[in-house]
Structure 1
Amino acid sequence: MPEAPRKSYYDVLGVSPDAGDKDIKDAYRRAARAAHPDLGGSAAGFHDVAIAYETLSDPQRRERYDAEIGRVRPAPAASGAAAARNGTPEARASARTRVEDDDAAKAPPNYLPPFSPSAPPAVPLILAGRQVHGSPRQPGMFGRLSSAVRSRVDGELRTSALLERALLPTYPAARLVNGLAFDDRERTSAGHVLLAGYRMAVIDSFTAPPGNFSWDGRSLRFQGRTVDLQLPRSVRAVQELFPDLNVAGWVVIHGAPDNPFAPVIDVPPGFDRSSPAVVQVVNAGTAVRTIRAFLSSGPAPNAVQLPVLARLLASAGS
């Protein structure tokens, strides 16, 4: 049986290719509600809606996307990455990943929206210029007696140190906010949030004893036992709090301190690691690469969204 053609981003949102910015934004809100996993949708469908909106709401990305699907003919380009973009869609995507995304991630921060003496920024610039905010969550006296709580605390400390050492120095616009608790969402919290441009990575962490994990995109298991993950629920709630951003989640599992690629996380045969997913489960050796790729491939990846940062800092108590 022939495979059904993949929907265009316009079809995903239910708008015409000539839709204006307001029509796209309104359609995104309707589509996000319809695709929400808690309302009968699916995680993959919810993520597709976010990707479609992220692409069509940015003029440059929309123009490139229109060229890829044949709506317009790309203008001739002289050389380099621009020449690659005028070739096959695969060549254009490769050029963006290797050249444009990497360069954008290294670019100086661009604070948005623009501000002036008569319209001051939502966050004082001395604070907005810092890359790290807040501290990893700390347990109370009785929490320290729980091995599960100690595992989470140790994991969050190791993840925070990893991101500060291996990601932030090469991504000036990225902002790491630790220890968030959103008061307007019952029981919604996150060990860390990384913000860059119009994308947000929500991250939880824990340490684990020796042994392999298995992850099929829905269920995480360790030595035959199911591991309860709060993160998928948190990611969906954070996406609702920040509907104009593309929100995805990472669970970072730390094993032996001297081996970032422990523990091994097995996946079933045929599992597509590159497919869109609301949550990825990774070890420390994979975390920085995958999170950075997600953030840097979004629109305006060197932007610092000051109103969004202000809300995050309020939730972190900074």
Structure 2
Amino acid sequence: MAEHSSTHYQVLGLPSTATEREIKIAYRKAARNSHPDHGGDPAQFRVVTQAYEVLSNPAKRQLYDRSYRAASATPSSSTNAGTPGAGSGAGENDFGSSDAASGSAFTTHRSPQSRNLAGEPAVYVPDYGALDGTVPLLPRPMAAQPVHGAPRKRGVFGASSRLAREARTASLIMQQVLPSIPAARLINGLTAPGGNGYLDHVLISGYRIALVGSMLVPAGAFRWDGTVLVHGSKVAAPPQLIPAARALQELFPECNVTAWVCVHSSTGNLFEPVIDYTRGGEPDGSALVNVANAARFVREVKQFLASGPLPNVVDLSVLSRLLGGMY
């Protein structure tokens, strides 16, 4: 079975929505079972105590959640054990290298072996029907919700235009991506890993994560050179998503993470602007950052999510950690 380090919630056997009272009760039970005076393991008792010290303090708990819940030191059986595409090197036989530090990303070509289909009903891991009294990481209604959070006002300058752009992207995803992939979940408004800014949207399906930003540009033809959009003598730089994509890849090694920029035209036409790509710049998921107009963004991000090894899976551990990062 694959091994991974448990989060503080898992150490105490709690859902991520646990109340202060539930945390206290769970700690007392876990401490009693692991205390050395009762024949327990001293190392496990220290882990239980550390988990309680963090989760019982509202400020520490918020920081912990927004750090995407760095795992504790004690390994436990993974909820993804035996699951293709989970654990180390997710889908490495299907998708090639996952070296995020080098800036490479996963390709979306399909392997000849049979795979689950993105249009199949969502399957939860672990299965709610097989918990045997174990507290789920997320309540089922929350896990079944396709959209979490909303664009929120932050900053002073340009807030209205940014909110309008984010709302347009979120609406596009809800209308044209989510209906065709039942397991896909859209999370709006996350803190960037390390607390360096914010992320507009994250799309997850199975073990693929699409970090999504957006731009609004005037009508016309543009060229994407792999770094900026060029329009005549003017250039437009996309959101800086590479650091966040690399950080998320490190935090979620069981997933394939890439970044996407949806470029909206001021005309409202989904097929504008027209973007010409230099060699290697095509937005097919093979680059760490993929830039496309709204129509192509929808097509390519659906392909990226659907071509993963288990696109119909909702992994409760991954989803609950991402939800903890919402600001």
- The structural deviation recorded for 1:257 is 4.7
Within 5 Å, give how 1:31-70 maps onto structure 2: 35-37=99-101, 41=102, 43-44=103-104, 47-48=105-106
Distance 1:269 1:294, change over 3 A: closer
Q: CA deviation at 1:139?
A: 3.1
Q: Which residue of 2 aligns with 1:185?
A: 194
Q: Structure 1 pair 36/312, CA: closer, same or farther in 2 (3 Å)?
A: closer
Structure 1 residues 267 and 231, CA gap change in structure 2 (3 angstroms)? same
Which letter maps to 1:133?
H
1:242-299 deviation digits (Å, cap 9, x = unpaired): 1110001110011135410111112236865547111110111111111110001001
Contact kept? 1:204, 1:252, Cα under 8 Å: yes
State the Cα distance separating 1:233 from its structure 2 match: 1.8
Provide the rounded CA distance (Å) in 2 between the counterparts of 1:289 and 1:228: 20
Q: Which residue of 2 aligns with 1:267?
A: 277
TM-score normalised to the size of structure 2? 0.63
Shift in Å at residue 311 of structure 1?
A: 1.2
Tell me, which stretches of 5 or more residues in structure 1 are unaligned?
A: 1-20, 56-60, 66-84, 86-91
Aligned residues: 235
* CA–CA separation in structure 2 for the residues paired with 1:191 and 1:268: 27
Residue 25 of structure 1 is matched in structure 2 by: 88
Matched, 1:120 2:129: no
Give the 5 Å matches for 1:8-23: none
Using CA pairs under 8 Å that are at least 6 residues apart, name the structure with larger relative contact order, 1 or 2. Answer: 2
Answer whether contact 2:215 2:238 (CA < 8 A) is retained: no
Q: Which residue does 2:251 correspond to in 1?
A: 241
- What do you get for the CA RMSD once the two structures are aligned? 3.1
The amino acid that maps onto 2:154 is P
Structure 1 pair 273/253, CA: closer, same or farther in 2 (3 Å)?
A: closer
In structure 1, the partner of 2:120 is 107
Identity %: 37
Q: Compared with structure 1, are the counterparts of its residues 271 and 199 closer, same or farther at alpha carbon in structure 2 (3 Å cutoff)? A: closer
Structure with the higher helix share, 1 or 2: 1
Q: Tell whether 2:322 aligns with 1:309.
A: no
The structural deviation recorded for 1:192 is 0.6
In 1: Cα distance, 2:268 partner to 2:197 partner? 32
Choose the corresponding residue for 1:136, options 151, 169, 190: 151
Query: Aligned pair 1:212/2:221, yes or no?
Result: yes
**Contact 1:217–1:277 (CA under 8 A) maintained in structure 2:** no
- Contact 2:149–2:188 at 8 Å: present in 1 too? yes
Return the offset for 1:117: 4.4
Counterpart contact for 1:238–1:247, Cα < 8 Å: yes
- Structure 2's unaligned 5+ residue stretches are 1-83
The correspondence for 2:299, drawn from 282, 289, 306, is: 289
Give the one of 190, 203, 220 matched to 1:194.
203
Residue range with higher mean Cα deviation, 212-221 or 241-250:
212-221
The alpha-carbon deviation at position 165 of structure 1 amounts to: 0.9
CA gap of 1:313–1:263, structure 2 versus 1, over 3 A, is same
- Alpha-carbon offset, residue 151 of structure 1: 3.9
Q: Normalized against structure 1, the TM-score is what? A: 0.65
User: Against the structure 1 CA distance between its residues 151 and 265, is the aligned structure 2 distance closer, same or farther, given a 3 Å change threshold?
Assistant: farther
State which of 143, 163, 172 in structure 1 corresponds to 2:173.
163
| In 2, Cα distance between equivalents of 1:155 and 1:217 | 22
Task: State the distance in 2 between where 1:210 and 1:280 align.
Answer: 20
| SS in structure 1 at match of 2:88 | helix
Q: State the match for 1:11 in structure 2.
A: none
